[in-house]
Structure formats: C-alpha cells, structure tokens
Amino acid sequence: MNGSDFALHTDKYEINMMYAHWKHGTANDRAVFEAYFRKLPFGNGYAVFAGLERIVDYLQKLAFSEEDIAYLARQEENYDPAFLDMLRGFRFGGTLHAMREGEIVFPNEPLLRVEGTVMETQLVETALLNFMNYQTLIATKASRIVQVAQGDTLLEFGSRRAQEADAAVWGARASYIAGFHATSNMLAGRKFGIPTKGTHAHSWVQGHDTEEEAFRRYAEALPDQVTLLVDTYDTLLSGVPNAIKIGRMLESKGKRLLSIRIDSGDIAYLSKEARKQLDQAGMPYVGIVASNDLDEHIIFNLKAQGAKVNTWGVGTHLITADDQPALGGVYKLVAREKDGRLVPVIKISGNPEKVTTPGKKDVYRIINRTTGLAMADYISLYGEEDVTEGKRIKLFDPLHPYLYKHVSNYTAERLLQPVFEKGKLVYTMPKLDEIRRYHQERLKLFWPELLRKLNPDVYPVNQSVAVYELKMELLRAFAKEE
C-alpha cells in the first residue's frame, strides 16, 4: 500500500458513523479528539513518541479512489449514492496538533489532538492510532535497549521476524529515532536515510567446503566491510582461529578485519575467550558483534557478566515488542459542537481509569528553573493562561488531589505542536537525524531514576484546577441516583 491508498485503512464503524452524521445533517459539526495511552509499556518509566511522519503523509494524501467508492457501494449498509458522491471530494481539512517525534511522553496526556468536522476526525481514528501505537511502542522498546547498551553500537536485525513488511520498515525507523545506530533493512535505509549494516549468514559458511575458504572468499569480495560469523562449527576452536587467519590476510593487503559475530552459545564466555584470542593475535581492533534472541534484559546481564561485546544485533524481541506487543493508545472525543459552540464531553465508565478527561486540552512540561529538570507534565484547558504566563500554578495528581504543591520557579514548554491548520500542513518535518538527536536531548530533562528499566520512578502527569473541576462538574451532571 502506498500513502495514497489508505482511505479505507479504517474500521467500518467509522464509515457508518460518518454516514449516520451525513444522513442527519451533522457531518460538518465540529469535534475535538485526543489520542493518548493509559499505561506505559514494558514497565518503563516513559515512552518515546513516534509515528508522526507517517500520520502526516496519510493525512496529506487522504482521498477516496473510484475503486474505494465502488467497494463502499457494494456494502450491505446500502450507503446512499449521494454520500458516496460526497466522498469523492473528501480531503482532510482539519487541524492536528501532535507531540514531536522522539519526545518523551507519559500516560494520560494527549499525544495527538485532532479538530475538524465529525466526518474527518472520525474517519482518521483507526489509521492514526495504528501508526502512533506501533511506532511509539517500538521506539520505547528500542530506547530501553539503548539505555542498557551504554554507548555500544546497536543494529536492528528484526525484518525477518517482524509482523510483515510495514512493521519491519517503520520499526527500523522507530528504533533509529530511539538511538539504534543502523538497520539491516535496506528499504528502511533507502527510504529514511538510516545507516545500513550487514554481516553474513550461516548459509555462507555452509555453502563452502571449509569455514576458512568461506571466510577468505567473503573477505576477498568485500575487503572493506568484513564481519565474519564464527559460530557455524566451533566458535573458539575453528571460527575465531579462522577469522584471525583472514585478519592476517587483510592486514597483508593494508586492510583490516572489522569484527566477528557470535550468534549462539554462552555469549559472555565466548566473547571473552574470543577477545583474548584476537588480542593475543595482535588484533585488538577487531570488534565483537553478538546476536541471538537478545533483548534489554539479556544485554544487561551479559554486560554484568563482563561480555566483551561492542556491537549488539537485536531482532525478534525488539521488532515484535514481544513482552508487550501492543500499546493501548486510544482516541477519545473531548469536545463537540452544540448550538454553534464547542462543548466538553465525557465518557463515564465503571473502571475509573477509563473515565475520559473532558475538554480541548494542552500539555506543558514544567521545568524547574534551578535544576533545569522536568518536574511534571501539566494538562490545562486550551487557552488557560496562568501556565503560559509563568504564573504560580498548583501541581497535583488528579487521583490524589489532596496532595499538592504550588510552583512559580518554572518554565513551561508547550508539547503539542501545530502540524495541520484547517487542512494545511504548517509543520516542517525535521530530518530523521534531528529527531534522533532531539530524543537524546529530551532524555536529559529527566532524573536517572526515571530512566532505569526496572521499577523506575513515576513521573507526575498533573492537571490544572480547571481541567479537574470540569471533569468533576460533568461527572456530577451524570451522577446516578438510586
């Protein structure tokens, strides 16, 4: 699917609601939706927002083709042909505010705010959540791996195990945003300018009479980028000694063996022994790449065991986020047009976590002027001025409003950026390397206790008094009496 073929990348209920609005003459009423997730994945202390590039491409190209219209005409809902005719001219004319890609984000704060007609805001729900949820999930998983790798080189190897092609390509991009250094996926490399890296497979060694011959022929063909996979037969007795022979051959030609790769067995033990052999052979410059079902926990453990690995190839566990394969981001209506005015709306649930926070809102990062560190994220109603003017504000957790403090010594950064204004793209997409740098910079705003992978501190996401009171007011209005 290319970007212009996504109009029907939506759930049928969105089309049905659009149709029902159209039938009742309310299709062009205004609506405001916000997208957020309720729980951080992997027990992490933060998430890394990603997906905006694809969202922008999708919204820009959003249009129904004749094939789409013909398909809709065949549905058992019997949509009125006049509705389908109207869809022919449909374009996204709404307003989108979004977090920057690479931003550090937290539960229950809007990551996207979409304002427009009920038609257009409803149609885009599925695709926006699909892009945001997957890419944010993978960027967050990758960021955890980056934290434990402590500056080692990280290669994304997941394509063959990803949930299909889009996941491989966009997952490679999300990993790069979070600090991975390269991907093995050449399409992701070409599309996004991500550096690409590749070694060779076991099949290369199996495809020759001897391991030494396989290594030699590989090195002869690609003398500038030789990484040899040393574990096909016996890592320490044949793989590394053969790699050293090839290292010598390369040296005699004024070249250098770049690295060896270990893909099975006890990586801590084998890498230490391989390091010794390489050093004793006078090749301290040869790096050691490890792969084989790695994730942040195994890398952390291998480092604790003193593994002599300087490059980690990570595939399956990263690209499938296998310990939590979905981010539960939701897209909720927060305000709608009534009698010509936008009014806040609420969704009530027996599960308190699922009660929505009404009203069109903004998110600010409150930064302590003295420490330069983030103290809390602060959700205000759109247009509330105290926070933008730097006045004294009250910080409290909406779940425990009796615990609060006032702050004045802060700067407030507005996190949601204007991306589309009434259908017009007003945002200059940063280059991928800028996004990646931005992510690294943003991490510096947080204390290390929040960034650790195990039992991190909980970062406060607070609400303004006005947001809290509006929610209470709507809850009271719907309170039941028995």
Ligand X SMILES: O=P(O)(O)OC[C@H]1O[C@H](OP(=O)(O)OP(=O)(O)O)[C@H](O)[C@@H]1O
Ligand Y SMILES: O=C(O)c1cccnc1
Ligand Z SMILES: Nc1ncnc2c1ncn2[C@@H]1O[C@H](COP(=O)(O)OP(=O)(O)OP(=O)(O)O)[C@@H](O)[C@H]1O
Q: Which residues of 329-351 are buried (b: 16+ CB within 10 A; e: fewer)?
A: bbbbbbbbbeeeebebbbeeeee
Centre a 10 Å sphere on the Cβ of residue 315 and count the other Cβ atoms it contains.
22
The yes or no reply on residue 157 touching ligand Y (CB under 6 A) is yes
Per CB under 6 A, which of residues 288..307 are in contact with ligand Y? 291
Q: Of the two residues 202 and 208, which places its CB atom closer to ligand X in the complex?
A: 202
Q: Of the two residues 202 and 255, which places its CB atom closer to ligand X in the complex?
A: 202
* CA 357 to mean position of chain CA atoms: 24
- Determine which residue in the list 126, 133, 147, 199 makes contact with ligand Y, applying CB under 6 A: 199
Question: Per-residue x/- mask for ligand Y, residues 117 to 156, rule CB under 6 A?
Answer: ----------------------------------------
The yes or no reply on residue 232 touching ligand X (CB under 6 A) is no
Select the binding partner of residue 161 from ligand X, ligand Z, ligand Y, none (C-beta < 5 to 8 A, by kind): ligand X
Contact between residue 393 and residue 411 where contact means Cβ atoms under 8 Å apart:
no
Q: How far apart are CA 299 and CA 134, in angstroms?
A: 23
Per CB under 6 A, which of residues 228..267 are in contact with ligand Y? 261
Tell me the torsion sign for CA atoms 155, 139, 126, 349. positive
The yes or no reply on residue 291 touching ligand X (CB under 6 A) is yes
Q: Of the two residues 43 and 207, which places its CB atom closer to ligand Y in the complex?
A: 207
Provide, rounded to whole angstroms, the least separation between the CB of residue 293 and ligand Z: 3
The yes or no reply on residue 293 touching ligand X (CB under 6 A) is yes
Q: What is the DSSP string of 100-124?
A: PTT-EE-TTS-SEEEEEEHHHHHHT
- Determine which residue in the list 102, 287, 315, 456 makes contact with ligand Y, applying CB under 6 A: 315
Residue nearest ligand Y (C-beta atom): 199
What beta strand segments (E) does 203-347 contain? 227-229, 259-262, 287-290, 311-314, 330-338, 341-344
Provide, rounded to whole angstroms, the least separation between the CB of residue 255 and ligand X: 24
Q: Tell me which stretch binds ligand X (CB under 6 A): 102-110, 313-321, 369-377, 432-440.
A: 313-321
* Interaxial angle between packed helices 81-88 and 66-73, expressed in degrees from 0 to 180 and rounded to the nearest 10: 160
Angle of CA points 354, 439, 386, to nearest 5°: 60
Question: Which of 459, 436, 467 has the alpha carbon at shortest distance from 374?
Answer: 459
Count of residues near ligand Z by CB under 6 A:
12
Tell me how far CA of residue 166 lies from CA of 138, 170, 194, 197, 359, in angstroms: 13, 6, 16, 20, 34
Q: Tell me which stretch binds ligand Z (CB under 6 A): 300-308, 335-343, 380-388, 433-441.
A: 300-308
Q: Of the two residues 313 and 329, which places its CB atom closer to ligand Y in the complex?
A: 313
Per CB under 6 A, which of residues 301..360 are in contact with ligand Z? 301-302, 305
Question: Which of 160, 158, 198, 201 has the alpha carbon at shortest distance from 176?
Answer: 158
The yes or no reply on residue 292 touching ligand Z (CB under 6 A) is yes
Q: For tokens 């996941």, what's the residue?
A: 167
Contact between residue 32 and residue 115 where contact means Cβ atoms under 8 Å apart:
yes
The yes or no reply on residue 198 touching ligand Y (CB under 6 A) is yes
Contact residues toward ligand Y (CB under 6 A) are 157, 184, 198-199, 261, 291, 313, 315
Contact residues toward ligand Z (CB under 6 A) are 264-268, 292-294, 298, 301-302, 305
Contact residues toward ligand X (CB under 6 A) are 157, 160-161, 201-203, 263, 291-294, 313-317
